[in-house]
Structure 1
Amino acid sequence: MKSWKDDPRADTNPLFNDNAIKLGVFGLNGIGISMTDAPEAAKADWNESATVAKMADEGGFEAIVPYSRWRGYIEEEPAHRSGLALDSYTWAAATSQIAPRPSIFSTSHVPTIHPIAAAKQCATIDQISGGRFGLNVVAGWNKPELDMFGASMLDHEDRYGQAAEWIEILRELWTRDEAFDYEGRYYTIKKGISLPKPIQKPMPPIMNAGGSDRGRAFAAKYSDMAFVIIRSDDPDEIRREADHYRDLARTEHGRDLQVWTLAYVVQRDTEQEARDYLNYYAVEHGDDRSLEGFMAMHNMHSQLLPKDVMEAMKFRLKAGHGGFELVGTADKITSRLELLAKAGIDGALLNWVGYEDGVGRWVKDVMPRLRQAGLRRT
């Protein structure tokens, strides 16, 4: 079985380097993933995004990953700021030109774009970026957004069935030189072809997040990076979650994959300063209306959980979409990343409320410590 560490795409794409913990900036095309009204929060502004992308490039990050968003979380207020996001495909093409080293992703919700159009756009960005493109595939979960497209909100199993056909068609379009027909349950292709092909062979890497059994099976079969939400600080529990994906990929499909996670960052000179800022943006300026809208979309009913558990979950969602906590001093954050690496996590996508300030602090103080700890190369 071939390891991703020997992947030929490493010639152009830093996702396949040998750093023990790889790093990416997440949500830079929008307002970030923290639910906050803090005035310094991102505003889906291209100039701000471009500035931070250059900082991430110069600081040695492996990836910059956007999200896809078409409307706000509040049902009765579609134009709410929670829907602010630059289109992830055109954003990726532009960002690849100002950040010449990291892997640049697009995020695509399967029901919102036809696979032929997606394949062409992805191959184009791979050409533009010199073989550094990556695709984050989302099966589709936001019903109000799908309603905008006139797309049906399928049940859980069917969503992954459609996503499987979608990726299979992309693979054919990226790798076959001759036209082909495809007859599936969700797509019918007549003499499909896409030119030019991507630079990366056999194809650009795929990232996918799936927490259910069906989602894990999908990620194990189709993705190069499985994206997991970590809900524990116990390294044994984290390793069990990561190994579950790897074991599925190896035993069922004879392939290897990376396991990444999401983390929110509050870095300050003291632990107290970091905790105070976390409270400032997640509590004092917490966007409770977006939180309630998001929870309603996911049928997160308060009566199903004890009050203290529900309040903790709400706080984590506002703080950073339920991601892993990286809060404290540079030393504390380094030790937390050491925990992830030792538990089998290959990479972390990071989010800050104020990206420019946060990435600047990270590059200055955390990156040197990660090198000293042996987690990253000099």
Structure 2
Amino acid sequence: MKSWKDDPRADTNPIFNDNPLKLGVFGLNGIGNNMSNAPETPDADWDESVLVSKLAEDAGFEANVPYSRWRGYIEEEPAHRSGLAMDSYTWAAATSQVTRSAVFATSHVPTIHPIAAAKQCATIDRISGGRFGLNVVAGWNKPELDMFGAAMKDHHDRYAQAAEWIEILRELWSRDDTFDFEGTYYTIRKGISLPKPIQKPFPPIMNAGGSDRGREFAAKYSDMAFVIVRSDDVDQMRQETDLYRRLAREEYGRDLQVWTLAYVVQGDTEQDARDRLDYYVVEHGDDRALDGFMKMHNMHSQLMPKDVMEMMKFRLKAGHGGYELVGTADQITARLEKLSQGGIDGVLLSWFSYEDGVKRWIRDVKPQLAQAGLRAG
């Protein structure tokens, strides 16, 4: 296993520590990562962000990652709460002052010019003392892109634009002289950005890409490749994670971490956890937001068997299709061990009630992970 402490950014950024399984909290800047109208779900409240960010630091989490959203999923109701999210850049800058975890911004490439993004990232890296990271999204939400007057490009072109975007960021972050850039999507004349980030050579990049083109992009540019775990089979997980690492190493001479997303529902018994899950997914699930999301992605019931579609809908409402961590502390620990055995380096976690969930995690799961050798005590 690679020691990430060899990376010079390990001096300031905790995502390069030696914990075999790194952890982060996801979605605090908005309504979380579920589609639920349960009253316990977050509401883009800054006081809650502060409280839970401090709890996550107490839990030893390495990362705190917001999402980026500009409008709701329901086309005829753009002010629907599914679009409720504080801006991820300013949220990251503020959050860096209340926690020692790494703080990320999530940036959809077509919504911000790379010169503006480069300066904002460098500023947050300096504010945080070198603990910033950038989650780069090529752009998938057509109604949001329409708001910006940015045409929805095909799959290949989205990644081609994102590649130019990152190449420009890297130049701006590292060069002291001006430079020109002539690309398909951007033209830069005598570009420069000051001050530079603390982290060298650049702040870490996170990116999710499941297609062949997305995987190639992540292997070339990402420090943290983000995957959706689709199977409980350790060997299948390992095939997927090894594919990313092998491509990064053999094609680009790079090492990267592989992270995934999971939703957590912890109970004193498995039945208690299942009842909690049903409460916010079945009793209070936001089916209108789910329908809007599925229309946006052209997910139609006729494209797959009914039972598969229903399971997909359930997981989307529970935690955006993430890996399930539902049950007792013992069961959650066992499933995290399985992820680690499958080659996963880190997991971004979400709860429908963050404060209660992270407190339970600190009390019951944290010591078990230390005992299992997945994390320092």
Give your verdict on TM over 0.5.
yes
Q: How does 1:247-326 map to 2 (within 5 A)?
A: 247-326=246-325
Q: How does 1:158-307 map to 2 (within 5 A)?
A: 158-307=157-306
The answer for unaligned runs of 5 or more in structure 2 is none
Once the 2 structures are TM-superposed, how far is the Cα of residue 79 of structure 1 from its aligned partner?
0.1
For 2:57 and 2:19, locate their aligned partners in 1 and report how far apart those are by CA, in whole Å: 16
Say if 2:4 and 2:17, in contact at 8 Å, map to a contact too. no
SS at match of 1:32: coil
One-letter amino acid of the structure 1 residue matched with residue 136 of structure 2 = V
Q: How does 1:95-134 map to 2 (within 5 A)?
A: 95-99=95-99, 101-134=100-133
CA-to-aligned-CA distance 1:134-175 (integer Å, 9 cap, x gap)? 000000000000011111100000000000000000000000
SS at match of 2:181: strand
For 2:87 and 2:359, locate their aligned partners in 1 and report how far apart those are by CA, in whole Å: 25
Say if 2:65 and 2:106, in contact at 8 Å, map to a contact too. yes
SS at match of 2:262: strand
CA-to-aligned-CA distance 1:201-243 (integer Å, 9 cap, x gap)? 0010000000111000000000000000001100001111111
For 2:361 and 2:50, locate their aligned partners in 1 and report how far apart those are by CA, in whole Å: 17
Say if 1:4 and 1:257, in contact at 8 Å, map to a contact too. no
Does 2:83 align with 1:83? yes
Does 2:369 align with 1:347? no
One-letter amino acid of the structure 2 residue matched with residue 93 of structure 1 = A
The answer for unaligned runs of 5 or more in structure 1 is none
One-letter amino acid of the structure 2 residue matched with residue 143 of structure 1 = K
Once the 2 structures are TM-superposed, how far is the Cα of residue 4 of structure 1 from its aligned partner?
4.2
CA-to-aligned-CA distance 1:325-368 (integer Å, 9 cap, x gap)? 00000111011101111111000000000111111111111111
SS at match of 2:97: helix
Once the 2 structures are TM-superposed, how far is the Cα of residue 63 of structure 1 from its aligned partner?
0.2
Once the 2 structures are TM-superposed, how far is the Cα of residue 3 of structure 1 from its aligned partner?
6.7
Task: Tell me the equivalent position of 1:145.
Answer: 144
SS at match of 2:124: helix
Detail structure 1 runs of 4+ shifted over 3 Å in the superposition.
Answer: 2-5
For 2:60 and 2:306, locate their aligned partners in 1 and report how far apart those are by CA, in whole Å: 42
SS at match of 1:54: helix
Once the 2 structures are TM-superposed, how far is the Cα of residue 377 of structure 1 from its aligned partner?
1.1
For 2:316 and 2:93, locate their aligned partners in 1 and report how far apart those are by CA, in whole Å: 30
Say if 1:13 and 1:132, in contact at 8 Å, map to a contact too. yes
For 2:281 and 2:241, locate their aligned partners in 1 and report how far apart those are by CA, in whole Å: 29
SS at match of 1:97: coil
Does 2:61 align with 1:61? yes
For 1:53 and 1:3, locate their aligned partners in 2 and report how far apart those are by CA, in whole Å: 26
Say if 2:3 and 2:18, in contact at 8 Å, map to a contact too. no
Once the 2 structures are TM-superposed, how far is the Cα of residue 245 of structure 1 from its aligned partner?
0.6
For 2:173 and 2:134, locate their aligned partners in 1 and report how far apart those are by CA, in whole Å: 13
For 2:59 and 2:314, locate their aligned partners in 1 and report how far apart those are by CA, in whole Å: 30
Say if 1:3 and 1:255, in contact at 8 Å, map to a contact too. no
Count the aligned residue pairs. 376
- Matched-pair identity in %: 79
Task: Tell me the equivalent position of 1:18.
Answer: 18
Once the 2 structures are TM-superposed, how far is the Cα of residue 58 of structure 1 from its aligned partner?
2.0
Once the 2 structures are TM-superposed, how far is the Cα of residue 6 of structure 1 from its aligned partner?
1.3
